[in-house]
Amino acid sequence: MKLHSLTAQCCAALAASAVALAAPSKDQLQKVAEQAHAKFKDDKSGKNADYIPALAKVPSELFGIVIITKDGDVIKVGDVDTPFSIQSCSKVFTMCLVMQESGDKIVYDKVNVEPTGEAFNSITAIEEGDGRADNPFVNAGAIATVSLIKAKSPEERWDKIHKTYEKFAGSKLIVMPDIFKSEADTNFRNRGIAHVLFNSGNLFCDPLEATEVYTKQCSVGVTAEQLAVMGSTLANGGVNPITKEKCIDKKYVPKVLATMTMNGFYDGSGQWAWNAGLPAKTGVGGGIVAVVPGELTIVGFAPPLDTYGNSVRAQKAIEFIASELDLNIFGSTK
- Give yes or no for a contact between 203 and 194, defined as CB atoms under 8 angstroms apart: yes
Report the SS3 class of residue 287: strand
pLDDT the model gives residue 15 = 40
Do the beta carbons of residue 110 and residue 98 sit within 8 Å?
Answer: no
308 is catalytic: no
pTM: 0.92
Element counts in the chain: helices (H) and strands (E): 15, 7
- The pLDDT score that the predictor gives to residue 16 is 42
Asked whether residue 13 carries a pLDDT value surpassing 60, the answer given is no
Residues facing 65 on adjacent strands: 77, 300
pLDDT, residue 23, reads 81
270 contact partners, CB below 8 Å, separation of at least 6 = none
At 31-79, the pLDDT tens digits run 999 999 999 999 999 999 999 999 999 999 999 999 999 999 999 999 9
What is the rounded end-to-end Cα distance, in angstroms, of the chain?
Answer: 37
Q: Which has more confidence, 120 or 161?
A: 161
- Candidates 214, 232, 252, 316; catalytic one: 214
Query: Which residue ranges are tagged as binding site for substrate?
Result: 88, 139, 183, 190, 214, 266, 284
- What are the pLDDT digits (tens) for 237-273? 999 999 999 999 999 999 999 999 999 998 899 999 9
Q: Does residue 21 register a pLDDT over 60? A: no
Structural contact between residues 44 and 292, judged by C-beta atoms closer than 8 angstroms: no
Average pLDDT over residues 87-116: 97
- Answer yes or no: 51 catalytic: no
How buried is residue 19: exposed, middle or buried, by Cβ count under 10 Å (0-12/13-18/19+)? exposed
Q: Determine whether 266 is an active site residue.
A: yes
The pLDDT tens digits for 217-247 are 999 999 999 999 999 999 999 999 999 999 9
pLDDT at 88 over 90: yes
The catalytically annotated residue of 98, 213, 256, 284 is 284
Mean per-residue pLDDT of the chain: 93
pLDDT surpasses 60 at 7: no
Mean pLDDT calculated for residue range 87-113:
97
The mean per-residue pLDDT over the stretch 88-112 comes to 98
Of 58, 76, 88, 253, the catalytic one is 88
Instruction: Pick the catalytic residue from 32, 74, 85, 91.
Output: 91
| Sequence spans of domains, the chain | 25-325
Residue 252 among the catalytic residues: no
CB-CB contact of 334 with 326 (8 Å)? yes
pLDDT at 48: 98
Instruction: Please name the residue ranges forming H helices in 51-152.
Output: 53-56, 90-102, 105-110, 124-128, 139-147
Count of beta carbons in the 10 Å neighbourhood of residue 116: 23
Domain spanning 25-325, CATH architecture: 3-Layer(aba) Sandwich (3.40)
Confidence band of 22 (pLDDT split at 50, 70, 90): low
